[in-house]
Chains A and B, each alone.
Chain A
Amino acid sequence: MRLAINWFKYSAPSTFYGLAGKLIPFFAWPAAILFAVGLYIGFFVAPTDAVQSEAYRIMFIHVPASILSMFIYLIMAGYAALGLIFKTRLSSMMASALAPTGALFAFISLWTGALWGKPMWGAWWVWDARLTSELILLFLYLGFIALQASIEDPRRADRASALLAIVGSVNVPIIYYSVQWWNTLHQGSTIKYSGTSMHVAMQQSMFTILVACWLYVIAVALARVRTIILERESNTQWVKDLAETK
């Protein structure tokens, strides 16, 4: 389905391949710089916390990773739905390009959560509502990736995993609230920042790293979608004409 809007031109994989290649540095470099700045503020500028001492600094990575892992799932489901409804192949490719990054962030969130939990609660893993939801989210990502990997026909793989992502995203709020309800019922422990108010430097650090993560996600997704495009279109003429495939 080709619509007559100008920017739809870029939804053709062959055009988008070049565009994405040009865009990647514009996201990758700022991401690297902002990471460095954010981590510097987080480790050297932000003051030591009265209650949690130095351990709280893991929050600067934990919180952005958690936020992104949730957002990426929704964005991925959105792309997948677009691909399913409008049959735009590029959207489905974007969805599959985002999935590993989302899973990575969910994993980082769990990892840092465990590292945070040890000094705070004396245990690597506590059945905290947010950590549990994050674990389930990681399962959802793994399901999406596994389904896509086990279907050979790319068209069926795209459409089947799109349907799964849509069903998953409808379920995410239900899962989230039921886990929260389950947690309050069992009076589980909750990891949270216990200071009365956040220091400005803490906010700056967290925000900078969050922006850096976003830029990183975009850069990585573009890079990955380029490889997916090459793989899927490997028998077309324009790919054979590319300088880098020769």
Chain B
Amino acid sequence: MQQAFKLEVVDLACERGDLRLFSGLSFELAAGELMQVQGENGSGKTTLLRTLCGFVQPVEGKVLWSGQDIAEWDDTYHEQMCYLGHLNAIKDELSAIENLQMSAGLAGFSVSEQDAIAVLRRMGLRRKEHLPVRVLSQGQRRRVALSRLLVGDSKLWILDEPLTALDVGAVALMQELIGEHLSNGGMVIFTTHQPLQVAGVQTRQLALS
């Protein structure tokens, strides 16, 4: 049974410290949609994304997933989403494969070595699979982190500055991957300071001020 996934934000207000970042924010995101959150530094983009993850409790309003408040969801919500923050969440001491397997494990499923290698190759890390991540460049590490999106079958991708440190080729690859994800009925909400165009998809803009 395929139910319709939908992310709804209703009258949301967030604070950082004593500072009110935004209030009265409402939007909807349906399957196949791509949304870019825009705003100056400090306008609350990261806080918004972290609120959508459930890290931060909103001061007012709520976040609904398939019609239900994410605070009331059991772990199913977290099964259906994948968050990629500023931090890569990878370990310098582990190889790319081990990193991918571990992060999949922490997310609750196991990935075989073949699958991990396939995903890493797709991310352009051929012959880097067994190297400790320590010796990789910043862009390559970001690729390892991004490869987490391709294992598992999360519907909602929440990406905070996914293109940081990526080269032109990797940006093109990301655009391609996001396009695939959207055409499979996924949805993506992201922030970026670089242009990101996905062929055939209208990028919705959300401006925080």
Q: List residues of chain A with CB under 8 Å of any chain B CB.
A: 152-153, 232, 234-235
Contact = CB atoms under 8 A, between A and B. Distances in A.
Interface of B: 17-18
5 contacts: A152-B17, A153-B17, A232-B18, A234-B18, A235-B18
A234 B19 CA distance: 12
A231 to B, nearest CB: 10
Contacts of B18: 232, 234-235
Contacts, number: 5
Contacts of B17: 152-153
B7 to A, nearest CB: 25
Question: A-B pairs with the 3 shortest C-beta distances?
Answer: A235-B18, A153-B17, A232-B18
- Interface residue SS majority, chain B: loop
A98 to B, nearest CB: 23
Contacts of A235: 18
B21 to A, nearest CB: 14
A153 B17 CA distance: 6
Nearest to A152: B17
Nearest to A233: B18
Contacts of A232: 18
B107 to A, nearest CB: 26
Contacts of A153: 17
A232 B18 CA distance: 8
A152 B18 CA distance: 11
Contacts of A152: 17
B72 to A, nearest CB: 15
